[in-house]
Each structure stands twice: as C-alpha cells, then as structure tokens.
Structure 1
Amino acid sequence: MAGRVMLLFACLMLLPSAHAELTDSKRALIQELFPKATVIEDKLSDFPVYPVYQLQELLGYAYESVDLSRLQGFAGKPISMLIGLDARGRFTGVKILSHHEPVFLHGLGEEPLFGFVDQYEGRSLREQIIVNTSNSRRSGKDTQGNVVHFDGVSKATVSVLIINDTVLSSALKVARTRLPGFTQAAPTRARADFFEPLTWQELVNRGYVVHWQVQADKIEESVGRPLSDYPEAPDVMPGEPFTDLFFGYINSPMVGRNLLGDDGYNRLLQKAGDGAQILAVMSRGPFTHLSDDFVPASAPDRLGMVQNNLAVEMRDLNMFDGTIALQAEGMPDFARQTLFRIGGNAGFNPGANAELRLNVELERNHLITDRTTLDVPVSFSSDLFETVEVAPLPEHTRQPVWVGLWKERWWQISLLVTGLAVLTVFFARQKSLSRHPKLVHRFRWGFLFFTLFFIGFYAQGQLSVVNIYTLLLALWDDFSLNVFLLDPVLFILWTYTFITLFIWGRGLFCGWLCPFGALQEMAAWLGEKLKFKQVRVPEHLHRRLILLKYPILIGLVGTAFYSLTLAEQLAEVEPFKTSITLLFVRYWPFVAYAIGLLVIGMFIHKFYCRYLCPLGAGLAVLGRLRLFSWLDRVELCGNPCQHCKNECGINAIRKDGRVDYDECIQCLECVVILRDEDQCVDKRLQSKRKGKPHILATDAAQPIEMS
C-alpha cells in the first residue's frame, strides 16, 4: 500500500513538468513567431513562458495568453492566443489558438479576426495602441509619436477590444517579470494630508507644477530646416518660445485643490471615479499641445507619455464646465488647457520619472511633411508623494474595458434609455391611451421602426439565445459582471427585459423590442398589402406547434454545457445574426433561411416567433412569474364574442376569451378593441341599453362577431 502511495505521489510530482512540455504543433507555431529560433525551451516552472533562443542569444518569450490573463470574451470564455514578445518588448506576432466568439465563428468568418491580430507584429510595448471603433477612424498604420491606431472590426467591436486588452496586459506581465528595462520603481501615491494655499507662481517655483518650454531654434535644429521653409508653420515672434508648456498631477491635493478650488477638486475626483489618475496640461504660444482639429474626450494627437519604456495611455476627460475650472491665483491665460486621465494597461507611478513626448509636424508642401518628437521630462517634487508598500497589479488599477465602451457609446445609451422610458410610460398608461386607436397604432409602428433601424441595425441590440448560454456558463464557471457590461446596449436591453418580464410578461420584448420581430411585423404588413392569402393555422394544430420552441430551447442550452462550439452552431436556428447583425451579407444558405422565414411570415403572421424562437420560449418561462395581468377581459369575451381572437394576428387569445400570456406579444390590439365603443360587443350592448341612437345606427352597419 505504501508503495502505491509513493507511486501516486511521484506521478503527481511529474504532472507539472509533463504539462509544460511542448507539443509538436505548439513548437511549430512558436517557430513561426520566431523564424530565427534554434532552441525553444519548455515552459518555465516559475513563470508560464517559453524562452526562445538563437544559439545562446535570447530572442524573447512565447506564452499562452490564458496563463496570464483570464479576461472573458463575448461568449463568456477567454480567447486563447499564443503571443511572441522579443527581448526589446516588441511583438513578433499573435496566433489565435481557440475562441468562441460567435460573430467570427458563425458570422463574419475568422479572416477579419486573423487580420486584426496580424497588426501586432512589429509593434512595441513602448507604443500606445488604440483600437479604432468609430466609423470615422484613422488608418491602422497611422502613427503619431508613440501612438499607434489599429483598425477594428465592424460588428465585432467588443471582441477586438477584449483581444487588445488581453494582449497588452499579458505582455506587460511578461515584460515586467522577464525583460530588463521594464522593471517598475517603488510605487508611490499622492500625500492626502499635504496641502497649503499657494499662488500659481508658488506652485511653479516649488516644482508642484512643472514648466517646460522650447525655442524655435531647437525645432529648426531638430528638423534641419528654418521654420520659414514651412508655409503653415506657427508664427514665432522674436524672444517668444515655440511652445510654453505647464503640467501638474491633479490627484495631489497640493496641486488639485490649488488649481481647481476645493469644490472643483472634489467634483472632479467624484466624476472621474475611484482610481482615476489625472494630469492637467496647459500650454500657450504659437504651438500648443493640442491641434485645432482635436476631438474632445479622445487621446491627444500631439502629446504622448512614456514611463519605464512603456506607453502610458492619455485620454481627455472633457470635464471643464462651470463648476470645474482652473482658477489658481495669478494663473496666466492659456491657449489650451486639458485634464487627462492617465494610466491604461501600463498604469502610472506619479512619483517616478516619466516623459511627455510632444510630436511636431511641419508641412513643406502637400507631399512632404517633416516630423520631430520632443522629450519633456516629467519629474514632480518628491514632497507630493509617499511610497506604497505593495505595488498594485495593473489589472486592478487600469480602467476596465467596459468603462471605455460605455463612454464611447454614450449617445446610443442615452437614446436607448430615452426610448425605453417612453415605452414604459406608454405601457403604464395603456388603459387610458388605448381609447385613442390612431395614437396607439402610430406609436406602435413608429417604435417598431426605432427598434429595427436603431436598436437592431445600428446599435446591434438584438438579444439572442446565445446570451443565455453566456449567463448560464458564467454562473456555472466563474461569474463576472464585466462580461455582460462589455456591450452597453445589450446589457441595458437584457436588464430592462428581465425587469419587465415580472410586470408585463414576455410580450413587451417580443412585440416591441426584438428587431427581427419588428422585421417580421413589417413582412406581414407587406404580405397583406400585396393581398397574399393569410393562412390561419387550425386551432388544434396551432396549440401543438407553439410547443416546438421549448424542446429547441432545452436542446440548445443542454448542448452548451457539452460543447459551446456546437451550441453556437445550432443557435443558427435563430436568423438574428444573418438578418440584423450582418444585414444579409453572408453565405447564401443562411440568407435563404432568414429570407424564407420572412416570406413564410407574409402568409402566416410571425411564423418564426410563434413556433420556432428559443429566445421567446425562455422569456415565456420567466414571464409566467409576472405580477400582473394587464389585458382586461369582460364577461362576453369568448362567450360568445370572438372579435379580439379573430383580430389577434399571433393567435394568443383562446376561444374562451382568455389571453395566453406565454404567446402574447402585447401589441395592445385587443385593448384598443375592448375600449372602442364601435368595435367591442360589450360596449355596444351597453350603449343599446342606454338607448344611444348613433350607436344603434353603427350597430346596424356592423354586425356582432360571434362564433
């Protein structure tokens, strides 16, 4: 028995080394990242990297991203990459090992993904890499100083930002652990109790605000030409500096309170959020630190920062308003003044030396532009800081990916929240508003267009059963709210849908907020206008067919726990990705399937919603927990009147008059009928009893509909 125990113990001891051994396929990939490699060692036992050598010379390290960063992708699983980093901190390449990003696996294809990661080859950790996600973006190879712009991937913004964050954060760990020149100085922070009222000149004299300027002859020496050779060069008067620059670390109360005042200082820190590090930069003279076409709330176009050989991210906070403004006594007038959030993946140590890099571009003509970069030392007075015992990890100090996404899409978020607020008010007042049929119908069609074109086509807010996979798998493995915050539009829609399920049931989403549902509604309207024969599925068959979506849902969710890749493939039963996300630009079988469903919907109202939609099935299950039944019924409904049932396009009203909330899409047509004295049988009979002659005349023209 003791021998068996010893054997088991020996096997367990050998497991780590066995795991660290290179497979032939991985060795081949590392060889692609380092073509000159002659020796590729096994993974180190103390740090998860593969050292790569050319004979005795260290070329760099290869590593798997999941060993150093577990940031989850859009599907709730990390994107696994093999990354090469040379001995000088430059990327030799990035290889995708595995991923579950739906938009690449079953939408755009993987070529855009591979094209995106190819941009890292040759780029350095000393550069600030910014992924362009807006429509008006710069070229991926456009660089200014240490700022590099990468082309993003349309329809896959979240995925590529996650990849960028994973690549940079993991590479920083490798560089700081294994590469000379990237080690961090002792961490510092601003002294919270260090303050006294000072004038502007006193702040400058004591080194609390740093002053730096450069003369025109220095620029001419750097570019090798007089400024007169550049037609658009700034006019520099004799004795005037080319640029006059001031900057200070706002987090220090000595600097922040004196520059902004106590109220402005507190407001700024509250607005910027916990952990934000802020640098104030002011400039005057012919050449300022921002160009005339600088876009507020973006990265500066002329200014960059480097610390420990790493690019430090800078982004304009755009927070100067009536309550936050520079107001130090004796402060001169400045042409430009900016508050920058600083840090990013590399973090920022305020008490350690750093450099600002001022990029100067001078056009000789429309073909030739000369460039030079000026290094501005950043070294604040040591009186402002105190040493911190333990350095915080970069991933805990940098701004989460989702924060930047929410800020970037602020106007989409605002418009979506406004639309949801209007819809909520409309539904809360449906009983009074439904007395005005034209208003209800116009509002409904207007909102359906808003859902399809803004929420769906533009903001990409199509909820999917894949989102349910992500939630369940996250709860099963390691739940993180950050995964769901990565797409603000989807997060807001899911939150709103989940809350309203307990108030109105599934119908509010399915009937008003589903872009493909809106598209089906429009297809049905077109079918009626083209006078296609509308097929009413027999009641007994309809009651059986509506159950189909439930086993589809169970099968998809169950498959996700077995194989997420297979589940994502089976989720193509949803035509959402083809029609809404990719706008029908896809391999023809997917397009034929989506269009086929819409064509069927021109004959059978919302065929897909009624019988096939697994998302609708999942919402219907939760919708059974609703607290209210808003759709009123009266004694004559179904006994004998069938008017509402006959008008219900989705057939969610039973013969006995009851509303089937599992199927109802809350179009409110039955509510309008019930409150219309010309349509509702109960209202017409009440009018007869009261002896209203104009109602009797109407009654003679419109017979009562009964089974």
Structure 2
Amino acid sequence: MAGRLTLLAVLFIGCFCFQANAWAELTDERRSQIQTLFPEATEIRDKLSDFPVYPVYQVTELIGYAYESVEFSNLQGFAGKPIQLLIGLDIRGRFTGVTVLDHHEPVFLHGLGEQPLFDFVDQYAGHSLRQQVIIDTSNSRHSGKTSDGDVVHFDGVSKATVSVLIINDTLLSSALKVARTKLEGFTQAAPTRAKPDFYESLSWPELVDRGYIGNWQISSAAVEEALGRPLDDYPDAPDVSPDKPFSELYFAYINSPMVGRNLLGDDGYQRLMDKVGDSAQVMAVLSRGAYPHLGPDFVPASTPDRLGMIQNNLAVEMRDLNLLDSNIQFQARGMPVFDKLSLFRVGGNAGFNPGAEASLKLAVELARNHLMVDKATLEIPVAFAPELFEKVEVAPGPGDNKQAIWVGLWQERWWQISLLVLSLTVLTVVFARQRTLSRHPKAMHRFRWGFLFFTLFFIGFYAQGQLSVVNIYTLLLALWDGFSLDVFLLDPVIFILWTYTFVTLFIWGRGLFCGWLCPFGALQEMASWLGQKLGFRQIKVPENWHRRLILIKYPILLGLVATAFYSLTMAERLAEVEPFKTSITLFFVRYWPFVLYAVGLLVAGMFIHKFYCRYLCPLGAGLAVLGRFRLFSWLDRVELCGNPCQHCKNECGINAIRKDGRVDYDECIQCLECVIILQDDNQCVDKRLKAKRKKQPRVLATDAIEVVEVT
C-alpha cells in the first residue's frame, strides 16, 4: 500500500510539473507574434513561472517583456467577453506594439470589419506609459497631438466608442501592472490617504502658510526662457505688467477634510463627496494672471487643455468635474479673486497617491504666425504638508481606485441621456393617458410620426440606440459566466432603453418598444407609407397563412440563443438575420449582400406592412415571450368588436387583431390606432349606433293615447 501511494505521489508531482512546463512553454506561433512586436530580439524566453510575462532579449541584454492582457485584466468587452491582446513593453515603459489575439466585438466582426480595430491598436506603438492617452471619439481627427510628450490623442473608431475605450483601459491597466513589477522607475511609494478626523477652521492665508494649499508663480522672463524668444515675438501673447506674474496657480487636495471643509464649507464639502463617491480623488486648481490653467476653448467636464499631472513618472488623468454651482463653491475666509476655478477628478489607470510628490505641468502655446506655434511646458512641483495624510497598510492595485469606464461614458453623453430620458417620460405620459389623448386623432397621428422620426434619426442613427437580439444572449451568457453590471453600463443609451423596455414589458407588453422605440421598426413604417404613396398594391396575407408565418421568428430566436452557448462567434454571424447593423449602425455602407438583404426587407415592407417585424424578428419574439407576463390589457374592446364589427381589424396594419375582436398582444405594436377608432364618434360602429338611438324620437304613453283619441 505504501509503495502504491508513493507511486501515485510521484505520478501526481510529475503530472503537475508537466502541466507547469506546458503552461510556460513558448509555442512557435506565440514566438512569431512576439518577434513581430520586437523585431530586434534575438532571444524570446518562456513565460516566467512567478509572473506571466515573456522576457525578450537582444543577445544578452533584456529589452522588454511581452504578455497577454487576459493575464492581468478581465475587463469584458461589449460582447461580454474579454478582448485578448498580446502587448510588447520595453524596459523604458514604451509600447513596442499590440496584436489582437481574439475578440467578439460585433461592430468589428460583422460591421466595420477588423481593420479599424487593427489601425486603432497600432497607434500605441512608440508611445510611453508616462504619457496620458486620450481617445478622441469625435469626428475631428488629430491623432498624435501632444503637449510636450505628456498627453497624446488617439483617433477613436466611429460607432465603436465603447470597444476602443475598453481596449485602452485593458492596455494601460495591464501595462502598469507589468511596469510596476518588472521595470525600474515605476515602483510606487508607500500609499497614503487623507486623515478623516484632521480638521480645524482656518482662513485661506493660514491654509497656504501651513502648506495645505500649494501655490506657484511664473514670471514672463521664465516663460521667455522656456520658449527661447521674447513675448513680443508673439502677436497674440497676453499683456503682462512687469509687477505681475505671467501665471499664478494654487492647488489643493480636496479629499482632506482640513482642506475641503475650509474651502467649500461643511455643506458644500459633504455635497461634493456625496456626488463623486468615496473612491474618487479630487484636486482643486485655481489660477489668475495673464495665462490661466484653462484656455478659452476648454470644454467643461473634459480633460484640461493646458494642464497635466505627473507622478512616479506616469501621467495622472485629470478630468473636470463641472460641479461648481450655487451649492458647491469656494468660500474660504480671506480667499483672493481668481480668473479660473476648477475641481478635477484625478487618478485614472495610474492612480494618485496624495501624500507622495507629484508635479503639475502647464503647457504654454503661443503662435508666432498662422503657420508656426511655439510650445513649452512649465513644471510645477506638488507636495502637500505630510500631516494631512496617513499611510495605509496595503497598496491598492493599479486602477483599483480609478473611475469606472462607464462613468466617464455617461458623463460624456449627458445631453443624449437627458434628451432620451425626457422623450421616454413624454412617451410614458402619452401611453398612460392614451384613452384621453386618443380623442384628438390628428394630434395623436402627428405625435406618432414625430416620435418615429425622433426614434430613427436620434435614437438610431445618431445615438446608436438600436437594441438587438445580440443583447439578449449577451445577457444570458453573462448570467451563465458571472454577471457584471458594468458591461451593460458601457453604453448608456442602450442600457436606458433596455431598462425602460424591460419595465414596460410588464405594463404594456412588447408593443411599446416595437412600435415606438425600434429605429428599424420606424424605418419600416416609413417604407410602408412610401409604398402606399407610390401606389404599390398592399398585400393582405391570408389569415391562416399569417398565423403560421408569425411563428417563424420563435425558432430563429431559440436557434440563436442555443448557438451562443455553443459558439459566440457563430451566433454573432447568425445574428445577421437582423438588418439593424447594416441599416442603422452602418447607414447601408457595407458589403453588398448585407445591403441587398436589408434593402430587400424594406422593399418587402412596402407591399406587406412591417414584413420583417411580423415574421422574422428574433428580438420581437424574445420581447413577446416576456410581454406575456404583462399586468394589464390596455386596449379596450367593446361588445360589437369582432361581432360583427371588423373595422379595427381592417385598419390594423400588422394584423394583430383577430376576427373575434381580441387583440393579439404578442404581435401588437401599440400604434394606438384601434384606441383612436374606439374614441372616435365617426369611426367606431358601436358609438355610431348609440348615437343613432339617441337621435330617434321617444314615444310616451300619453302621446299614444292622444293619437288614438284623435283617430
């Protein structure tokens, strides 16, 4: 028995060692990929057993490391799966290149194509972790714009904003973990935090004198020295009096109660902390003089255009909070007047250690003429009084305290979110009061068509808010693999629409979305209207065939969901049964078979009202299933409906009313046309009959006696 146990132990250890070696072994394919990232490499070693990176050598000199992003970051992509990258990082903290190993982002796989993705990651080569990377998601293109090497702007990918921001976060957070473990000059100082109970009432001069607020001045002479020429050479240079500084900055760490409560007051400080949350770090910057820290073109709630921060040789992200108002404002006793006042959230992937030394960098740009612009960066040392802080035992990992990606996305799209929420509020009021409002048919028809245009052009084409069956099986896979709400918060418009749709499914059924909030559904309605205006013969599908055809979309839905659990890539390809990506996301700019398919469905809809919605849409099928749990049946029926009156059925373009007058809520798109008919005295047969009865003269008994006597 002892011998057998010994043999089993040896076999177990051998298997373990074999697996460990297999895990660390460098395959030919991976070697070739790393060689592409380091063309000058002469030796690529196996993955280290204690830290998952591949050391890369040139002869005997270490020149960098290659690693797979999934070893350090499990941030999920828009499809609910991590985007796998192979990243090269040299010993100075510069990216040597990035290779996409695997991803499931639908917009690249079956929309824009993968080339825009490859072009995006190619921008990182040659740039350093010491730079602050800003992804430009607007249409303006100024890739490579820098402020003395500290800030670099990368071109984003139109219609793939979420995906590229996830890639950027994955790249930077994973690279920081590698750099802080393996590269010199990136080691973190002992972490600190503001003392929560350290406070006494102090005036502005006292805060400055004790080092709780930092200040810095620069003279015109220092600027001229940095630029290499006098300010008189610049026509647009600000006028500076000899006795005044070119620029004067004050800066403070607001999280410290000693600083925040004195600067903002107790109420203002508490309001700010409640709004930004416990994990946010806030820096105040105030400036006066000829050259403040914000330029005239600065956009609130964005990254400052003139100011940057460096700590531990890494760029620290700064983003304007845009929270200064009547409730949150500077009010310290003895505080001077400033030209610009800002509250910045600081940290990002690099994090921020408030008790450690850092530096602000003020970028000065002055134009000599319309072709030549001179630039200089002025460094401002940042070090607050040490008594404001206390050490913490465990250092947070890179990015542990940074703002979640989705928060920034919601902030950037605040006006789209506001407009969407307002429109959904109006739509909810209309549906809640549909019986009353339907008494005004012209106004209701105008409102419906106006809302359909809003849905198509704002929600669909502009905000890219087209819901898809892909969202359904992404949710199912997330529930299967481990649910994370952050994935769904990455697109605020989609998240709000899905939340609203899910809630209203239990009130009105699936029709509110399908009839009012689906951009492709709105496009089909317009195609149907155009077909009628062009005189196309409208085809009425026979009732028995219609009842069979509406079932097709359910096996399509089941097939897609089942395939997603087998192969997400295959399911994404099969999801092309939806023409949404071609028509709404890509504006029909795509490979011709996809365009032909989408246009063909719209042409079919010019003859058969909403052909795709009725018979093929898997998203509509999924919503119909959930819609069966609705709590109310809002569409009124009267005794004559279907027995014998067929007026509502004949007017129902989508044929969601049965011959017996019942409304098929699984198919109804809640256009409210039947509600309008029931409320219209001239259209509803029941109301017309009741009106006729009222007009007939009523014969009383006394009238009958008088008639007999006369006779």
Return the TM-score normalized by structure 1.
0.96
> Equivalent residue for 1:377?
381
Amino acid at match of 2:146: T
Residue 240 (structure 1) shift: 2.2
> Equivalent residue for 2:354?
350
Residue 132 (structure 1) shift: 0.8
* Distance (Å, rounded) in 1 between the aligned partners of 2:244 and 2:607: 78
Map 1:69-148 → 2, pairs under 5 A: 69-135=73-139, 137-145=140-148, 146-148=150-152
| Matched position secondary structure for 1:245 | strand
2:598 corresponds to which of 594, 600, 610: 594
For residues 200-244 of structure 1, give each alpha carbon's deviation from its aligned partner in whole angstroms, at most 9, with x where no partner exists. 111111111111112222222222222222222222222322211
| Matched position secondary structure for 1:163 | helix
> Equivalent residue for 2:707?
none
> Equivalent residue for 1:698?
none
Amino acid at match of 2:332: A
Instruction: Determine whether 1:447 maps to 2:451.
Output: yes
Instruction: Determine whether 1:330 maps to 2:320.
Output: no
Amino acid at match of 1:621: V
Map 1:116-195 → 2, pairs under 5 A: 116-135=120-139, 137-145=140-148, 146-195=150-199
For residues 478-509 of structure 1, give each alpha carbon's deviation from its aligned partner in whole angstroms, at most 9, with x where no partner exists. 21000000000000000000001111111111
> Equivalent residue for 1:31?
35
Amino acid at match of 1:596: G
> Equivalent residue for 2:654?
650
1:609 corresponds to which of 608, 613, 621: 613
Amino acid at match of 2:104: H
Instruction: Determine whether 1:582 maps to 2:583.
Output: no
For residues 25-54 of structure 1, give each alpha carbon's deviation from its aligned partner in whole angstroms, at most 9, with x where no partner exists. 111111111111111111111111111111
> Equivalent residue for 1:700?
none
For residues 319-370 of structure 1, give each alpha carbon's deviation from its aligned partner in whole angstroms, at most 9, with x where no partner exists. 1111211121111111211111110111100000011111112222222222
For residues 285-339 of structure 1, give each alpha carbon's deviation from its aligned partner in whole angstroms, at most 9, with x where no partner exists. 2222111221111111111101111100011111111121112111111121111
2:392 corresponds to which of 388, 394, 409: 388
> Equivalent residue for 2:264?
260
Contact 1:144–1:301 under 8 Å retained in 2: no
Residue 89 (structure 1) shift: 0.5
Residue 547 (structure 1) shift: 0.4
For residues 447-496 of structure 1, give each alpha carbon's deviation from its aligned partner in whole angstroms, at most 9, with x where no partner exists. 11111111001100000000011101101102100000000000000000
Amino acid at match of 2:23: H
* Distance (Å, rounded) in 1 between the aligned partners of 2:404 and 2:426: 31
* Distance (Å, rounded) in 2 between the aligned partners of 1:40 and 1:419: 57
Instruction: Determine whether 1:483 maps to 2:487.
Output: yes
Comparing 360-369 with 191-200, which one deviates more in the overlay? 360-369
> Equivalent residue for 1:676?
680
For residues 238-270 of structure 1, give each alpha carbon's deviation from its aligned partner in whole angstroms, at most 9, with x where no partner exists. 232221111111111111111111111111111
Superposed structure 1 runs of 4+ greater than 4 Å apart = none
> Equivalent residue for 1:60?
64
Instruction: Determine whether 1:463 maps to 2:467.
Output: yes
> Equivalent residue for 1:560?
564
Map 1:408-427 → 2, pairs under 5 A: 408-427=412-431
For residues 565-602 of structure 1, give each alpha carbon's deviation from its aligned partner in whole angstroms, at most 9, with x where no partner exists. 11000000000000000000101110010000000100
> Equivalent residue for 2:708?
none
* Distance (Å, rounded) in 1 between the aligned partners of 2:298 and 2:439: 52
Residue 283 (structure 1) shift: 1.4
* Distance (Å, rounded) in 2 between the aligned partners of 1:7 and 1:370: 70
> Equivalent residue for 1:513?
517
* Distance (Å, rounded) in 1 between the aligned partners of 2:312 and 2:567: 43
> Equivalent residue for 1:701?
none
Contact 1:190–1:251 under 8 Å retained in 2: yes
> Equivalent residue for 2:541?
537
| Matched position secondary structure for 2:302 | coil
Contact 1:138–1:149 under 8 Å retained in 2: no
Amino acid at match of 1:630: W
Contact 1:437–1:672 under 8 Å retained in 2: yes
Instruction: Determine whether 1:7 maps to 2:11.
Output: yes
Residue 550 (structure 1) shift: 0.4
Map 1:613-652 → 2, pairs under 5 A: 613-652=617-656
| Matched position secondary structure for 1:143 | coil
Residue 196 (structure 1) shift: 1.0
Unpaired segments ≥5 residues, structure 1: 694-707
Comparing 433-442 with 89-98, which one deviates more in the overlay? 433-442
1:429 corresponds to which of 428, 433, 437: 433
* Distance (Å, rounded) in 1 between the aligned partners of 2:415 and 2:362: 32
* Distance (Å, rounded) in 1 between the aligned partners of 2:445 and 2:219: 69
Return the TM-score normalized by structure 2.
0.96
Residue 138 (structure 1) shift: 5.0
Amino acid at match of 2:583: S
> Equivalent residue for 2:703?
none
Amino acid at match of 1:577: K
Amino acid at match of 1:556: L
2:666 corresponds to which of 658, 662, 666: 662
Contact 2:350–2:399 under 8 Å retained in 1: no
* Distance (Å, rounded) in 2 between the aligned partners of 1:184 and 1:4: 45
Residue 12 (structure 1) shift: 2.9
Contact 1:128–1:148 under 8 Å retained in 2: yes
Residue 8 (structure 1) shift: 4.0
| Matched position secondary structure for 1:432 | helix
Amino acid at match of 2:34: I
Contact 2:348–2:399 under 8 Å retained in 1: no
1:48 corresponds to which of 46, 52, 70: 52
> Equivalent residue for 2:709?
none
* Distance (Å, rounded) in 2 between the aligned partners of 1:576 and 1:222: 55
* Distance (Å, rounded) in 2 between the aligned partners of 1:590 and 1:506: 27
* Distance (Å, rounded) in 1 between the aligned partners of 2:10 and 2:504: 60
- The alignment covers a number of residue pairs equal to 692
1:281 corresponds to which of 261, 281, 285: 285
For residues 636-659 of structure 1, give each alpha carbon's deviation from its aligned partner in whole angstroms, at most 9, with x where no partner exists. 111111111111111111111111
- Aligned Cα root-mean-square deviation (Å): 1.2
| Matched position secondary structure for 2:399 | helix
Amino acid at match of 2:528: A
Amino acid at match of 2:145: D
Amino acid at match of 1:19: W
| Matched position secondary structure for 2:417 | helix
Amino acid at match of 1:143: T
* Distance (Å, rounded) in 2 between the aligned partners of 1:346 and 1:378: 17
* Distance (Å, rounded) in 1 between the aligned partners of 2:363 and 2:607: 63
> Equivalent residue for 2:370?
366
> Equivalent residue for 2:702?
none
Amino acid at match of 1:182: F
Instruction: Determine whether 1:572 maps to 2:576.
Output: yes
Instruction: Determine whether 1:244 maps to 2:242.
Output: no
Contact 2:66–2:87 under 8 Å retained in 1: yes
| Matched position secondary structure for 1:371 | strand
1:291 corresponds to which of 295, 298, 306: 295
Comparing 497-506 with 137-146, which one deviates more in the overlay? 137-146
For residues 403-423 of structure 1, give each alpha carbon's deviation from its aligned partner in whole angstroms, at most 9, with x where no partner exists. 000000000000000111111
